[in-house]
Structure 1
Amino acid sequence: MTIQINSNYLEKYAKEYASIVCDGFFSSKQYITGQDIIQLTSSTQVNFFIIKRLFELWQDELAKLKSNPFFDYRDIAVHEALTQFMNVLSRRIKVEREHLQPLVETAVAQAVQLATDPVSFYQAEISKAPDGKVNDYLKENKKYYKWHDRAVTFLIDKAGFGLDKGEYQRAISANYQVVKDSLESENLLLATFGDVKVFDLDHYFEKAEPAISYSEPVKKVEESETSFFDQMEENEPAAHTFEEKKVEPEEIKIHSPTPEPVAPSANGKGINPQALKSRFASESYKGMRGVIGELSESLAINQRFMFTKELFDGNSDLLTHALKSIDECNSFNEAINLVNARYVNELNWETETEPVQEFLLLIYRKFDEV
């Protein structure tokens, strides 16, 4: 039995999500700006897919101007003036609700596809690139990829210019098989939708005979001479992503998708730090120790949302205090013992659940121990 996408559920969900978001924003405003869009929802990927679509429309507008046969757009003075005009235009984004809501719907659907099937999504992205310019296309668009970006950005400036689209697409598929166990889970990513409307993955995935198939479907910025779209990487909201050690695909080992249970601590309660450390070290995380700094400053916004909701009874202050306490620990063992003493039993954590395992993995990655 294979899995099939419930496209009707996705379409309905995207419409409802977009309607709720727009109801909230346009209740007090007539139009939205580029800086507003960057912070429109708790899902960074949704926000940046909206910006990505505006960038594409901006490029289309420029192409229309250049297609006029009566003027010499190759003239250096015309080129400079046109570039300045388009950059100024990009910093004057002004979208009313009737035009924004469809953009939000599309962005939500794309984000769901990216979270659940990054290979198909990025292969479709490659197919949009102009012939012979895949590398340029990826360079130009990488700032808009916030989820599972390691599946595709490793190709930039490494694959050469002689590869056709098919070779790029095969490379994405092969690389994903290597890095997939170190990527954030679809549950964690889609949890960022929860403050607007919870996304039901069980409803989205259906058991059926056909194979799985997808249809392709800030801070105030100082005035400058660059375009709004070139500033995306500089003005990305802080704490939406945490820094990961860049590991080349060949350095990562694929582990079994079903982890061994975490052994209890010596007194029969909580988590055994030595057993947990051994298990993480034997999987694909061996080279990831010591790659995270302060946990209190490194969590992605989707992780904060999930940990607060699933592990800390919806109390964000309790999560913040826990992260700061763990940051003050001197070793992995000390940190796990603190977690056992204060949280595992007090908050009735089920230690084999995905949120707990994600939380423990972050602690493991913080401490550089042999």
Structure 2
Amino acid sequence: MHGSKLNQEATNTYSQSYSAKIAEEFFSQNDSISGQQIISITPVKQVNFFILKALFDEWQDEIKKFRSPYFDYKNEDVNQALKAFINTLSKHIQIDKEHFQPLLEKSVKATLELLYDPASYYTKELSKTASVDKSRELKASSKYIKLHKALFEDLWSRLNQGNDLQSAIQSALASYTDSNQEIEHITELFNSTLPLNVTDKQVDPEQFPMPEPLDTLEEIETVAPEESTSQDEINDEFEPVEKEELEAESHSINQQYKGDIKTLNQRYEEKEKAKTVAAALETKSLSNLKNNININQRYMFVNDLFEGHDKDYEIAMDQVEDCDSFDSSVELLVQNYAKKYDWDMNSDEVKELLKVIFKRFR
């Protein structure tokens, strides 16, 4: 983008070197990496979420292996046993350096491709399966996409309207005005670890130190969603999520909540009413807030909103659980946590948290 062409040789070399450096720094002090640590392993959020995506893709492939024509997987006892197994796995994500570094390298390459050549990225991603419902396939990955969000939404909308993959991608790119600021910011984040130069011209591979060769890799361990309490909860990890509206202007916390707190409640009421019937069913009341926050959401809330302070997050969720209304829960968060951690109230993370809390009081 910006007239730049992604150099594949330079991208491969950079991804190897960057991954080797990150892995070396982390595993020099740790024997393995947990799910909680993955979400902040690099300064580039997109890389971290692509690692999670790779893990959940592996989980999907592995869970299919449990299916067999010789056993009744619809049986209630079998379902309950499978749920218990999945819940146990989700709490024990643990990957050593040998198995983690290839995942990291793959995620760095995917991030650079999405950043500079989204047409190639989406073509590859949506061509992996034989599914004709490309819009559903794309929407299922929305929770992992952190770059070029407007392009993603436009592409999904065109696919949802029945356009074929290539014409949808070309049309979406033609109408998309990419963000110089976003690309520059991500470039700076990469540069903070290793200088990034993967576009326009051939880059000398000797510019980057090559990682030590790895031994033959064994199959990656399976990973599952955290704390699912029903089959719907398990499936929800890979179901499309509802499109979130983006606001053009950003405001400070004081400006955002100046005046009656009911203004926020009214705004969410209007959004909920505008959703489709399917989305409305998705927003049914939650009987237990924390148990209905999936692993990706929890990672995002703890790290992006509570700066990695698990204890504050747990206390906040318990306090919200005890509130008697959406208004009072939002006021509690604003007074006790939004100011403390300097939240951007228009950020995707805050909107996602408020969306979950809103469901709690419907």
**1:57 is matched with which residue?**
58
**2:143 is matched with which residue?**
143
**2:201 is matched with which residue?**
206
Q: What percentage of residue pairs aligned between the two structures are identical?
A: 31
How far apart are 1:98 and its partner, in Å? 0.4
Q: In the TM superposition, what are the counterparts of 1:260-299 in structure 2 within 5 Å?
A: 288=248, 291-294=249-252
- What's the CA shift string for 1:250-295, capped at 9, x where partnerless? xxxxxxxxxxxxxxxxxxxxxxxxxxxxxxxxxxxxxx4xx11139
Distance 1:64 1:174 in 2: 38
What residue identity is the alignment partner of 2:85? F
- CA 1:132–1:90 in structure 2 vs 1: closer, same or farther (change >3 Å)? farther
- CA 1:181–1:47 in structure 2 vs 1: closer, same or farther (change >3 Å)? closer
Cα contact 1:55–1:229 (8 A) shared by 2 = no
Distance 2:177 2:110 in 1: 19
Distance 1:102 1:78 in 2: 34
What is the number of equivalent residue pairs in this alignment? 230
How far apart are 1:76 and its partner, in Å? 4.0
- CA 1:61–1:296 in structure 2 vs 1: closer, same or farther (change >3 Å)? farther
- CA 1:222–1:136 in structure 2 vs 1: closer, same or farther (change >3 Å)? closer
**1:187 is matched with which residue?**
184
How far apart are 1:36 and its partner, in Å? 0.5
**2:237 is matched with which residue?**
230
Distance 2:64 2:197 in 1: 40
What residue identity is the alignment partner of 1:293? H
What residue identity is the alignment partner of 1:26? F
What residue identity is the alignment partner of 1:138? L
Q: In the TM superposition, what are the counterparts of 1:94-243 in structure 2 within 5 Å?
A: 94-156=94-156, 159-160=159-160, 163=162, 167-182=164-179, 184-201=181-198, 204-206=199-201, 223=227, 225=229, 226=233, 230=237
What residue identity is the alignment partner of 1:205? D
TM-score (ref. length: structure 1): 0.53
Which of the pair has more CA radius of gyration?
Answer: 1
How far apart are 1:125 and its partner, in Å? 1.6
What residue identity is the alignment partner of 2:62? E
Cα contact 1:190–1:199 (8 A) shared by 2 = yes
Q: In the TM superposition, what are the counterparts of 1:349-364 in structure 2 within 5 Å?
A: none
Distance 1:137 1:151 in 2: 16
**2:246 is matched with which residue?**
245
- What's the CA shift string for 1:162-193, capped at 9, x where partnerless? x3xx7133223212222224575433322211
- CA 1:229–1:106 in structure 2 vs 1: closer, same or farther (change >3 Å)? farther
SS in 2 for 1:72: coil
**2:215 is matched with which residue?**
none
SS in 2 for 1:9: helix
Cα contact 1:43–1:192 (8 A) shared by 2 = yes
SS in 2 for 1:103: helix
Gaps of 5+ in 2: 203-224, 257-302, 304-362
How far apart are 1:297 and its partner, in Å? 12
How far apart are 1:119 and its partner, in Å? 1.9
What residue identity is the alignment partner of 1:192? L
CA RMSD of aligned residues (A): 3.8
How far apart are 1:139 and its partner, in Å? 2.7
RCO comparison, higher one (Cα < 8 Å, 6+) = 2
What residue identity is the alignment partner of 2:192? D
Distance 1:129 1:150 in 2: 24
- What's the CA shift string for 1:96-148, capped at 9, x where partnerless? 00001111111111111111011221122221244133233223211111111
How far apart are 1:12 and its partner, in Å? 1.7
Distance 2:10 2:130 in 1: 33
Cα contact 1:87–1:227 (8 A) shared by 2 = no
Q: Is 1:10 aligned to 2:7, yes or no?
A: no
Cα contact 1:33–1:95 (8 A) shared by 2 = yes
**1:34 is matched with which residue?**
35
- CA 1:205–1:159 in structure 2 vs 1: closer, same or farther (change >3 Å)? closer
Q: Is 1:70 aligned to 2:65, yes or no?
A: no
SS in 2 for 1:205: coil
Gaps of 5+ in 1: 208-220, 235-242, 247-287, 302-370
What residue identity is the alignment partner of 1:34? G
Distance 2:255 2:18 in 1: 29
Cα contact 2:148–2:178 (8 A) shared by 1 = no
